[in-house]
Amino acid sequence: MSRKTFQRLSLDVRRRSLMEATLTCVARHGLHGASVRRITEEAGVTVGLVRHYFGSKDDMIRNAYAYLVGQLTAQASESARAAEGTPEAQLASFLRANMTRPNMDEETVSLWATFIGRVRHDPGFAEIHRDGYREFLSVLETLIEPVLIHHGCPYSVAICRNHAIALNGLIDGLWMEGAINSGLYAQDILPDLITGAAERLLELPAGALSVPDIALQSTGHPTHREQQSKPS
């Protein structure tokens, strides 16, 4: 009967491995089914390590949530930065990125929702959520501002912020319902749908955010844009 062989990993690597295993288990079995044993088995280690790297299971889960939110906001900022070209193209690319993989992913949404449910009663979760939300709003404002100015729309910090709040609501709602997708509509209508909706929300001329020939390869659907998204 020999002991399990193991590797000593650096603090960062091991911590991240445990947090990712935590997220995997929470997504798969819910918060209630994500036991320390399942998580550590998923990470390929034994239970004792939880205490060693995090004080407790709850602490590990909080850290995993922060890790998830960090990934999400980083991904969002990334999508925004990656898009080049006009401010319109950047905003459009950001919106479309949130309606396609990998950003719009059912497992991620499940995770996100599960944690959101704990925000109300756990101050630690609340802080993590608030920071992520603030960051997302900030990114949106940065993207919206030059578009409004460029089109000579009525502009002020307050207007821009209100637009960001509304647009964030739209993104969140479509992101969630779209990812969970109940089969009531095809998911691939969403990129065009949100583009049109954003144009109207910001009172831009129709088509202001639609793809200008090139420039949107990064969304994954470069070639076919067409009929289905035309509400008018």
Partner DNA sequence: CACACTGTTATACAATTGATTAATTTTAAT
Partner DNA sequence: ATTAAAATTAATCAATTGTATAACAGTGTG
> Is 180 an interacting residue with respect to its own copies (CB under 8 A)?
yes
| Residue in 21, 23, 26, 45 binding DNA, rule: CB under 7 A | 45
How many angstroms separate the CA atoms of 54 and 37, rounded? 15
> Residue 87, preceding bond cis, omega within 30 degrees?
no
Tell the smallest beta-carbon distance from residue 36 to its own copies (Å).
Answer: 12
Nearest CB to its own copies, comparing residues 14 and 122: 122
- Which pair of structure tokens corresponds to residue 229? 């998204």
| Residue in 31, 47, 82, 186 binding its own copies, rule: CB under 8 A | 31
| Residue in 38, 118, 221, 225 binding its own copies, rule: CB under 8 A | 118
DSSP string, 21-55: HHHHHHHHHHHHH--HHHHHHHHTS-THHHHHHSS
> Is 118 an interacting residue with respect to DNA (CB under 7 A)?
no
| Residue in 19, 23, 50, 109 binding DNA, rule: CB under 7 A | 50
> Is 174 an interacting residue with respect to its own copies (CB under 8 A)?
yes
> Is 36 an interacting residue with respect to its own copies (CB under 8 A)?
no
Contact in structure between 34 and 25 (CB atoms under 8 Å): yes
**Measured between alpha carbons, how far is residue 156 from residues 152, 161, 221 in Å?**
12, 8, 34
Phi, psi of 137 (to 5 degrees): -60, -40
Stretch that binds DNA, among 37-45, 138-146, 184-192, 213-221 (CB under 7 A): 37-45
Nearest CB to its own copies, comparing residues 14 and 146: 146
Tell the smallest beta-carbon distance from residue 165 to its own copies (Å).
Answer: 6
User: Under 8 Å CB-to-CB from 144, ≥6 apart: which residues?
Assistant: 91, 160, 163, 164, 167, 202
Tell the smallest beta-carbon distance from residue 43 to DNA (Å).
Answer: 9
* Measured distance between the N- and C-terminal CA atoms of the chain, rounded to whole angstroms: 73
Contact in structure between 83 and 94 (CB atoms under 8 Å): yes
Chain positions contacting DNA, by CB under 7 A:
1-9, 11, 14, 33-38, 44-53, 56-58
Residue ranges in contact with its own copies by CB under 8 A: 27-32, 34, 106-107, 109-111, 113-121, 126, 129-130, 133-134, 137, 154, 156-159, 161-163, 165-166, 168-174, 176-178, 180, 182-185, 189, 193-194, 196-197, 200-203, 229-232
